[in-house]
Amino acid sequence: MPALKLLKLPPPVAESWDWQMDAACRDVDGAIFFHPDNERGELREERVAAAKRICQVCPVRAQCSSYALESGERYGVWGGMTEEERKAARRRRVVR
Ligand code: SF4
C-alpha cells in the first residue's frame, strides 16, 4: 500500500468572513448594491442612496469598508461607499 500523503489545505478563513453574518444586507436583494448595465442618472442615484441607507445602520460597516478598500473591490456599494468613492479613498491613501 502506498504511503498516505496528507493534503496541505489552506488555513481556515472563516474568522475573516464572520463579520458578514451580522451584515444588515444579509437578507436584502443584492441587486440594490450593484448597478445594472447602463444605469444612469436619477435611477442610479436612488438605488445608491437606498443601498447607503442600509449600510448606514449596518453593525459591520467598518469591517466591510476595510475589506472593500483592501481587496480592491471594483463594483458595488460596500461599507456605504460606491466604486468611485472607494477609488478616491484609495488615491488619498496612496498620496499620504
Ligand atoms: S456595510 Fe453595507 S454592504 Fe457592507 S455588510 Fe453592511 S450593509 Fe452590507
Q: Note the helical H segments in the chain.
A: 14-17, 41-56, 61-71, 83-95
Provide the pLDDT for residue 17: 83
Distance 63 CA to ligand 1 centre (A): 9
Give me the phi and psi of 81, to 5 degrees please.
-120, 140
Cell reading at 62: 467598518
**pLDDT average, residue stretch 50-68:** 97
Per the structure, the complete domain to which residue 43 belongs is given by 39-96
Provide the pLDDT for residue 16: 76
Cβ partners under 8 Å of residue 85, min gap 6:
none
Using the atom order of ligand 1, give the atom closest to the CA of residue 26.
8
| More confident site: 8 or 87 | 87
Q: Look at residue 79 and tell me if it is in a domain.
A: yes
Distance 94 CA to ligand 1 centre (A): 24
Q: Look at residue 44 and tell me if it is in a domain.
A: yes
Q: Look at residue 11 and tell me if it is in a domain.
A: no
Least confident range of 14-23, 27-36, 58-67, 81-90: 14-23
Q: Look at residue 62 and tell me if it is in a domain.
A: yes
Provide the pLDDT for residue 13: 65
Distance 67 CA to ligand 1 centre (A): 11
Using the atom order of ligand 1, give the atom closest to the CA of residue 58.
6
Q: Look at residue 3 and tell me if it is in a domain.
A: no
Partners of 81 in the β-ladder? 78
Indicate the number of domains in the chain. Answer: 1
